[in-house]
Amino acid sequence: MVKIRLWQNHSHQNRAVETERRNLPVFSPGGQPDEDQRQKNVREIMKELDSLVGLAGVKKLVGEIHAFVEIQRRRQREKLATEPQVLHMVFKGNPGTGKTTVARIIGRLFKEVGVLPKGHLVEVERADLVGEYIGHTAQKTREQIKKALGGILFIDEAYSLARGGEKDFGREAIDALVKGMEDHKDNLILILAGYRQEMEWFMESNPGLRSRFPIHITFPDYSTTELLAIADLMLKKRQYHLSPGARDELRLILEETRSLHVHSGNARLVRNIIERAIRQQAVRLVRKGQVSREELMTITREDMLRAQENNPEL
């Protein structure tokens, strides 16, 4: 099981050696410039997490995990006993609720606090892990684990590994993952992600997994107001904005789509609508010829209506 392991060393030289090996910050006797930079990086990462729309429960739990790790660091520096913590996680929620985004932030956070040497994210699904013949699956799974060493292996729709029955090669992938967790317990964190009900079934179908993944984070669907806020952020990054009429139309599209589909896509749905509206704006402005700066930046109700006509969700 992956655990927080904070090294206790008895000399500055040993600290430097372990830091190089584990990518932990160096605390020099004459000051702590590296520590100051680390704290600054951590604040920036937590600020980025906090800037995400919604996800109050997710932010709270990530904050608790960060606080625990930070206090273990401080206890280590005072030569107090430190408490190990298993950090493998299960992310439960519908598509487009921010699971991958939060996983990337957690990876960067864990790098800064010394839990992971690299903190990068390797995102895979069943096809990346499961082979076509006996032995092939273990090989493919080990290859993905190798890519993720020092960071996070994020397995989307992880429940699909257990859906094929006893003879399915997905079982072999699960066994290889469990072995990888043991072999690289100080150098790898696994995050299993998928729909809430399916992930709960997956945990029940393999009781040995639940104890290895003690952190369960639920990602709720966004409200219409939150989706509109996400749309504003997406447009701002692209230097666009909605006219009042376009905003009203987008709200109607979101409410209609959510009423038709249980799994409406959340932020992915918003991104798709925005991208279609931007294309429709481009077609409208090209036909017009001479346009102003404000026109280049504004998405109108007409653009949104045409985007709705091309909406495969409806």
Q: Average pLDDT, stretch 167-194?
A: 86
Q: Average pLDDT, stretch 168-181?
A: 85
CATH (residue range 224-310): 1.10.8.60
Say what percent of the chain tops pLDDT 90.
Answer: 42
Give 269-285 pLDDT, tens digit per residue: 899 999 999 999 999 99
- Contact between 217 and 92 under an 8 Å Cβ cutoff? The reply is yes
Q: How much is the pLDDT for 14?
A: 41
Q: How much is the pLDDT for 113?
A: 86
Q: Average pLDDT, stretch 218-238?
A: 93
Q: How much is the pLDDT for 134?
A: 75
Name the pLDDT band for 38 (thresholds 50, 70, 90): confident
Q: Rounded distance, CA 154 to CA 91, Å?
A: 10
Q: How much is the pLDDT for 205?
A: 78
Two tokens, residue 203: 């945990």
- Contact between 156 and 125 under an 8 Å Cβ cutoff? The reply is yes
- Contact between 189 and 153 under an 8 Å Cβ cutoff? The reply is yes
The kind and range of the H/E element at 122 are strand 121-124
Per the model's pLDDT, the better-predicted residue between 125 and 7 turns out to be: 125
Nearest to 52 by CA among 120, 103, 107, 88: 103
Going by C-beta distance under 8 Å and a sequence separation of 6 or more, which residues neighbour residue 50?
59
DSSP state of 154: E
Give 98-133 pLDDT, tens digit per residue: 999 999 999 999 999 888 999 999 999 988 998 877
Per the model's pLDDT, the better-predicted residue between 8 and 77 turns out to be: 77
Q: How much is the pLDDT for 261?
A: 61
Name the pLDDT band for 50 (thresholds 50, 70, 90): very high
Give the torsion through C-alpha atoms of 246, 251, 256, 261, to 10 deg: 120
Going by C-beta distance under 8 Å and a sequence separation of 6 or more, which residues neighbour residue 161?
126, 129, 130, 155, 170, 171, 173, 174, 202
User: How far is C-alpha 42 from the geometric centre of its chain's CA atoms?
Assistant: 17
The kind and range of the H/E element at 189 are strand 189-194
Structural domain boundaries of the chain? 37-42+53-218, 224-310
Going by C-beta distance under 8 Å and a sequence separation of 6 or more, which residues neighbour residue 122?
144, 147, 148, 151, 152, 153, 154
As its CATH architecture, domain 37-42+53-218 has: 3-Layer(aba) Sandwich (3.40)
Q: How much is the pLDDT for 266?
A: 80
Nearest to 107 by CA among 89, 92, 94, 125: 89
Backbone region of residue 289 per phi and psi (left: phi > 0; alpha: psi in -120 to 50; beta: other values): left
Q: How much is the pLDDT for 30?
A: 40
